[in-house]
Amino acid sequence: MTLLDAPPPKKPRRIGRYVLLALVILIVGGMAYILLRNLPEERAVSRFLTTLEQGNYQEAYRLWQPSASYSYQDFTHDWGEQGDYGKIRAFKILGSRSKGSQTVIVTLTVNNQQPPLELLVDRKTKGLAYSIF
């Protein structure tokens, strides 16, 4: 067999490109899921605090979705201008983490006070509560 009798070279397979593309899609999709899975709950907290910032306590109380034992007076005592944080002027959501399949804990600062506050958000109803964790 001479060099001229050699069979033609095989076409390169493109499977490697498809495998690499699939891995990139899985990695990017996984990172997006991890970073964005609690976004609706973070938005619920942001909407609540923005409503408080605007001084609309009735709407904020509705967004809190309180139990029957937590009256509007209790709410204004906690979140009103005479509450623990005073008039809400600024807030920053620091992060969130899932607690089971139904609850998200959102960590935030209100009026730059330390330590950060943690609020619970129900995934289904977007109701808020103080964190017991």
Percent of the chain with pLDDT over 70: 98
How far apart CA 62 and CA 44 sit, in angstroms, is 12
| Residue 13 predicted with pLDDT over 80 | no
Distances (CA, A) of 128 to 26, 47, 77, 80: 33, 11, 16, 16
- pLDDT at residue 9, rounded to an integer: 75
- pLDDT at residue 1, rounded to an integer: 63
| Residue 3 predicted with pLDDT over 70 | no
- pLDDT at residue 84, rounded to an integer: 84
Domains of the chain: 38-130 (3.10.450)
Determine the 3-state secondary structure of 67 from DSSP: coil
